[in-house]
Amino acid sequence: MLVALAAWAHPYHASIMEAKLNPKTQQLEVALKVFTDDMETALSQGAARPVRLLETPAAQLTPLISNYLRRSIAVGTKPGEALPLNYLGMEREKDAHWIYFSVKLNKRTQGINLSHRLLMEQFSDQMNIVNLEANGKKLSALFRSGNDTQRISW
C-alpha cells in the first residue's frame, strides 16, 4: 500500500504565479497554479475533515481558499503593506488547479512588495515561482523558506 501511495506523490513542491499589471485599472491580475493534493493538504490543516477541491461545495470552498490566500500571500506598494486580495475562482488542470485573484494597487507604482509563503508551512522544500509582466517588462522571482518576501520592481 505504501508503494501505491508513493506513486501518487509528486517529487517536488512548487507553485507558479503568473501576474500581469493592468495599467488602466492599476490592478494586478493573478493566475496561481498549485498541485491539487498540496492545496488540499493546506486547506485540511485544522479542519474537522479533509478538504477535497473537487468534492467540497463552492459555498464552503470559496471562503477557505480566500482566507488561505490572504494568510499566505501579501501584495503591497510599500514594505509591510497587505492590499486586499479579490478571489475570482479556480479551475482544474489535470493534477493541479489554477486559482485566480486580483489586487487593486492603491497608487501608480514602479514595483510591489510581495510576500509569498504559500504551502511553506506544509512543505519544507516548497518553491513559489513568480512571473510578472508590467510596463512591457517580464520579471521572475523565486520564493523559498527564508526568502519569502521580495521587492519586484519594473
How far, in Å, CA of 117 to CA of 127, rounded?
9
How far, in Å, CA of 47 to CA of 148, rounded?
25
C-alpha cell at 17: 504565479
Owner of C-alpha cell 490543516 = 45
For 148, residues 6+ apart whose C-beta sits below 8 A from its C-beta are: 115, 116, 117, 120, 128
State pTM to two decimals.
0.91
- Amino acid symbol at 146: G
Continuous H helices in the chain:
2-8, 36-44, 58-72
How far, in Å, CA of 140 to CA of 58, rounded?
32
For 63, residues 6+ apart whose C-beta sits below 8 A from its C-beta are: none
Q: What is the pLDDT of residue 151?
A: 98
Each residue's pLDDT, cut to its tens digit, for the chain (154 residues) gives: 334 344 456 678 999 999 999 999 999 999 999 999 999 999 999 888 999 999 999 999 999 999 999 999 999 999 999 999 999 999 999 999 999 999 999 889 999 999 999 999 999 999 999 999 999 999 999 999 999 999 999 9
Phi-psi bin for 80: left (phi > 0), alpha (psi -120 to 50), beta? Answer: left
E-only strand ranges, 11-95: 14-22, 27-35, 73-76, 85-93
